[in-house]
Chains A and B, each alone.
Chain A
Amino acid sequence: MEGSVAYDSDLNLKATELRLGLPGTHEEQQAVSNVRNNKRPCVENETAPPPKAQIVGWPPVRSYRKNNSQPVYIKVSMDGAPYLRKIDLKVYSGYPELLQAIENMFKFTIGEYSEREGYKGSDYAPTYEDKDGDWMLVGDVPWEMFTTSCKRLRIMKGSEARGLGCGV
């Protein structure tokens, strides 16, 4: 693992994520999706849990400390490969480096990313499982948001991948 990859001097997170709500229990902070206008949680209003809000710059931890906290190891699987690998997401400063590393690790090519069409030009699509348990295409959200919500990576192959990769 490249422990000594040089960091960009502007590896400052543009958006840091905060998932509000206690882990695993009912969502108390119903109203926080629009925190600006709604400072109190609506305790009387017990509806279904809302989408988790994300707040830039919270908690107030220096970006240096955030960047240097515990390595975030995630599993990387590739359809058809005999075993999984693990990588430390924090070592990469963006999508190009990450995808390059994965290409090298599994000896394949991913193709060009575009927002409209996903990954064109190969049989593979890099996907990830986010904190909500959904499988998402790698590359759609800002890098920092990705690193904080990515639980595991899966390189999908073949028709499944094509279904994801092409804007049908």
Chain B
Amino acid sequence: MNYFPDEVLEHVFDFITSHKDRNSVSLVCKSWYKIEKYSRQRVFIGNCYSISPERLIARFPGLKSLTLKGKPHFADFNLVPDDWGGFLYPWIKAMARSRIGLEELRLKRMVVSDESLELLSKSFPNFKSLVLVSCEGFTTDGLAAVAANCRLLRELDLQENEVEDHRGHWLSCFPENCTSLVLLNFACLKGEINLASLERLVARSPNLKSLRLNRAVPFDTLQRLLMRAPQLVDLGTGSYVHDPYSEAYNKLKAAIQSCNSIRSLSGFLEVAPRCMSAVYPVCENLTFLNLSYAAGLQSIELTKLIQYCRKLQRLWILDCIGDKGLGVVASTCKELQELRVFPSDPFDAGNAAVTEEGLVLVSAGCPKLNSLLYFCQQMTNAALITVAKNCTNFIRFRLCILDPIKPDPVTNQPLDEGFGAIVRSCKGLKRLSLSGLLTDQVFYYIGMHAKQLEMLSIAFAGDSDKGMLYVLNGCKKLRKLEIRDCPFGDAALLEDMGKYETMRSLWMSSCEVTLGACKTLAKKMPSLNVEIINESEQTEFNLEDRQKVDKMYLYRTVVGHRKDAPEFVWLL
């Protein structure tokens, strides 16, 4: 069957980049399996406990780029205790030992120690790109090691990590002959930065396209950096506070004028509203604008800025923009695809400044909208039905009504019909997060219509096991299901145990599932790890089978129980 020499097939496979397609290729025949195996360079592992480092290396010895995800998604919201797991070190150790030619590492929700960063920096001479998202466990010492030892480093991208700042001069650790940087994002660092080192680094990085600064970088440094790097495509300012009548401000205005490649703007971690006019010149070409940390900007300043952003495709903003402000977005940003509206005060439920009105306006004005994250005060069925009519292209639809069981305030009805309209209308929907008052009916609709759904997040919803069963039976492509505080129990959990082998993971917390049912599931399905997270004083042996478990996390795996689970995690 194979009329081509291996090299030709390999060349053909080079054009096949999607993980799913490459997986399919490897199933065709033994010879394709072998060629694909040795030519595979990029591997994505959605759950770091589904496979071991050793097996990964054996399977794909030519590995160059690895993506790893650790903790379950709800860890982002403090539902998973520290020390649950997701350690990077074993992966680095194994790849170093096997002399893998690692060049790229992308991590999400992993525990990254300084030790692992140091080992990484010394073990992979061609290492080029480090992307850490929502990780923790490391300090600026680890960053110093990466800076000092990764001679070919192109990308250092730190997104929303908890980093302990040792105030070392990690930036100064980039050697003088390091000129390869393309992306540098240290916005999440809390400590001081050696500004002179930063300026010198930027000055000797002619390929630098993306620079995101932290709060410690002041206004006048920003101006000098922009003078050095007018070629920037993506800019994240640090502190953006200055007297708009000063010489420094005029200099910044001039510097920004010369940066006509900027397409993406973020930061404004501290901001003086009167200084925003300096950025107006770059607005007309912006495709991504992230003002979600700019707490100092009121709706009026936000809308003034947005009025210039006619080409915007992605907007991340705080809810202080208000419904009216969203109306300005709707009438200006006709190319908008992604909108994220975050709560200005995430601790105080009563005060979200946007309602269903803002969302309806955006849906009417921005027909290309396909991705939404919307924290709001309230939502109505009528609004959702309108949104569903206006925008049929949603791939991601995440709605968070700050009061989690709030009904439609106009009709006092649950929001079943509204979400039903969304899933019926958006045939390509892959990710859905629900909130508000919801009965089993909404799950009936989801199971019936959300045929492409891959990830579903549910909280405080449903009436009975039927709800969960509608979803498990109907959503054939479901990969991740996370549920909290819903009345779903053993019957739903155990009805179709084989389903979980087709999924990446299931999270259930504060539901009606008992220990006995979890044990049954674990026993019948050896290909699943069923973990109980128990933070109380009770030991495993004190808890009776008929007692409800507080948190259960199960996932498919080919390597059985993990060896690094802490005391409070019981592996059934």
Residues of chain A whose beta carbon lies under 8 Å from any beta carbon of chain B: 3-24, 28-29, 32, 35-37, 39-41, 43, 55-66, 68-70, 148
Contacts and interface: CB of A to CB of B under 8 A. Distances in A.
Q: Which of B137, B191, B269 has the largest count of A CB atoms less than 10 A from its CB?
A: B191
Contact of B404 (A10, A40, A55, A66): A55
A4 B216 contact: yes
A17 B295 CA distance: 20
Interface string B211-225: 000011000000000
Interface of B: 74, 76-79, 82, 134, 136-139, 160-167, 188, 190-192, 215-216, 269, 292-293, 295-296, 342-351, 375, 400, 402-407, 412, 433, 437, 457, 459-463, 484-485, 487, 510
B77 A61 contact: yes
Contacts of B188: 64
Given A6-B165, A7-B165, A40-B437, A19 B78 contact: no
Nearest to B401: A59
A58 B404 contact: yes
Given A12-B82, A18-B347, A40-B405, 16 more contacts: A16-B346, A22-B403, A24-B350, A35-B485, A39-B462, A56-B79, A58-B77, A60-B433, A60-B457, A61-B342, A62-B77, A63-B76, A65-B342, A68-B293, A69-B344, A148-B348
A130 B162 CA distance: 29
Contact of B160 (A7, A28, A32, A65): A65
Contacts of A10: 82, 136, 162
Contacts of B79: 56-57
B162 A13 contact: no
Given A6-B165, A7-B162, A60-B400, A65 B460 contact: no
A43 B405 CA distance: 13
A8 B403 CA distance: 31
Contact of B400 (A12, A17, A35, A59): A59
Closest 9 CB pairs of A and B: A23-B350, A57-B77, A70-B295, A64-B160, A61-B346, A148-B347, A9-B164, A62-B76, A57-B79
24 contacts: A4-B165, A5-B190, A9-B139, A9-B162, A9-B163, A10-B136, A12-B162, A13-B78, A20-B403, A21-B350, A23-B351, A29-B406, A35-B404, A39-B460, A57-B77, A58-B459, A59-B343, A59-B404, A60-B400, A62-B160, A63-B76, A64-B162, A65-B160, A65-B292
Contacts of A63: 76-78, 162
Given A9-B136, A56-B79, A62-B76, A39 B162 contact: no
A63 B79 CA distance: 11
B197 to A, nearest CB: 17
B418 to A, nearest CB: 17
Contacts of B412: 43
B60 to A, nearest CB: 31
Nearest to A57: B77
Contacts of B347: 16-18, 66, 148
A134 B510 CA distance: 31
Q: Which of A8, A35, A58 has the largest count of B CB atoms less than 10 A from its CB?
A: A58
A59 B407 contact: no
Contacts of B77: 16, 57-58, 60-63
Contact of B405 (A12, A39, A61): A39
B162 A19 contact: no
Contacts of A57: 74, 77-79, 484
B166 to A, nearest CB: 7
A59 B163 contact: no
A18 B350 CA distance: 9
Contacts of A70: 295-296, 344-345
Nearest to B160: A64
B150 to A, nearest CB: 22
A15 B347 CA distance: 11
A61 B160 contact: no
Nearest to A28: B406
B350 A32 contact: no
A19 B462 CA distance: 22
B349 A19 contact: yes
B405 A35 contact: yes
A122 to B, nearest CB: 31
A12 B134 CA distance: 12
Nearest to B159: A64
A70 B351 CA distance: 14
